[in-house]
Amino acid sequence: MFKIGAVTAAVVIPGIAALFYFAAPHFPDFSSQVVSSDRIVVRAGQDLQKALDSAKPGDTILVQAGASFKGNFKLRKKRGTGVITIRSSASDDQLPKEGERIDPTVYAPVLPKLSSPNSEAVVSTEAGAHGFRFVGVEFQSTKGGFSNIIQIGTSEEETVADIPTDIEFDRVYIHATDPAGQRRGIAANGRRILIRNSHISGIRRKGEESQAIAMWGADGPVEIRNNYLEAAAENILFGGASSTLKLVPTSCVVEGNTLNKPVSWRNEGWVVKNIFEIKNGKNIVVRNNVMTNNWVMGQEGTAILFTVREDNGPATIIEDILFENNVVRGTSSAVNVWGGEGGGGRNLTIRNNLFADVDHKKWGGRGFFLKASEWDGLKIENNTIINSGNVAIAYGKPIQNFVFANNIVFYNDYGISGDDTSPGQEAISVYFPGARIVHNAIIGARQGVAGNPNYYLSSSSQIGFADQKDFRLSPSSPYRSKGTNGRGIGYQPTQQ
């Protein structure tokens, strides 16, 4: 049972009774914050940094709508607990409504435009900075597209008190304006960081990785909600580098976003790898997102990665991750799970997702659903997987406490396979010992190849999909009650 709030999530895996907590981050309600009568107006040609330095918690800085400001703007550590709001001088009715994702084609003319004169960040934070909120602001490239457009924290803080906190970006537009692209949109290395209703685009580089949002040098929480996020290497990345305090991104939420790579990038030479990746993180919920387009370039084109990388030393871990109600569409392969470094990987649930157009002929690569090694507690249930390659490819050390239940998947050539084993039962016994593989509709497989009770079908027409868009079961489908405890199998859409 999962819910956002003071969340308790109980996950029961055969052989393990795992009770863990997604401690939902608590953010102040910036929109209802009582603001003092102080207003600082910054017009074209005036000094925005001077306004940032002189502002007190509770102040609002009104930056002239449509005007351009060039600089490396620093958010200072302030006394007090209120919030400094930096926003367009445009009236509220000229900006998106609260909770509405910004559309740059509509609102860009009324956004003040901030850019960097050099390769340093447009906005960065002083040690211990806290309580800043940006609304209706446009952030453009650094010179040459190097480094971060927005840099929260440095990952070199030596005390927890130095980590920036309580910083929000709401209805902002962050994008590459340099022909070379941009290394990163936001480096979110802080605590209680909220990024919502915003648009980040054009984040791409040749010869190096790029991310719309990345976090590696703080322990969170971070909320990423209802944004359009466009980047070449990874649209969102947790981990991948070290921090002085050896912190693990924790209690983060990624919900209601669109993560996309424009297909037009495919032949332009940008380094493309994955859509979403965790290399280091705990208690992370990834829910109700749409993730589209990923192909072979910098790697083999797998969309979703949960792979522990010991960039942060032995503290590195992936633990207690929920990936549910997402649509992943248009990719070479779907999911890679590996826990072979640092503290390892455990307790990952992949539930009620649609993986469609996982097609090696169209996108390159191998078209597999799952590539896995060395993990403890991997639960995959109620997913619909429209794939062209194997169900699973296993290697190295086995996956313990594996559950694969109530899914719809294509067997294709080898189904569940593993290095130096025959596909099917031998591969399962070696790489998924004690696995619970039940109530799946496996299309194109011979009877019993993955054990029983499963449903071995010769054609997808036997499933009874309502349509070929979201692949939900039709009301007349015979599999609406064939899952565990009489429930349906496969993906059942929620409101995206």
Q: What is the pLDDT of residues 324-347, one digit of tens each?
A: 999 999 999 999 999 999 999 999
Q: Name which of 8-12, 66-70, 227-231, 386-390 the model is least confident about.
A: 8-12
Report pLDDT for 37. Answer: 54
Report pLDDT for 13. Answer: 34
Q: What is the mean pLDDT of residues 13-22?
A: 33
Contact 216, 249 (CB under 8 A): yes
Contact 305, 240 (CB under 8 A): no
Mean pLDDT computed over every residue of the chain: 92
In tens, the pLDDT along 154-192 reads: 999 999 999 999 999 999 999 999 999 999 999 999 999
Is the pLDDT at 73 greater than 70? The verdict is: yes
Q: What is the mean pLDDT of residues 229-242?
A: 97
Is the pLDDT at 495 greater than 60? The verdict is: no
Distance (Å, whole) CA 82 – CA 130: 9
Distance (Å, whole) CA 184 – CA 256: 21
In tens, the pLDDT along 86-128 reads: 999 999 999 999 999 999 999 999 999 999 999 999 999 999 9
Is the pLDDT at 23 greater than 90? The verdict is: no
Give long-range contacts, CB 8 A cutoff, 24+ apart: 90-98: 90/65, 90/136, 94/65, 95/135, 95/136, 95/171, 96/136, 96/171, 96/197, 98/31
Contact 197, 229 (CB under 8 A): no
Report pLDDT for 469. Answer: 85
Is the pLDDT at 241 greater than 70? The verdict is: yes
Q: What is the mean pLDDT of residues 257-277?
A: 97
Is the pLDDT at 16 greater than 80? The verdict is: no
| 60-63 vs 250-255, strand pairing mode | unpaired
Local structure of 369: helix, strand or coil: coil
Confidence of residue 48 (pLDDT cuts 50, 70, 90): very high
Task: Express as a percent the part of the chain with pLDDT over 90.
Answer: 90
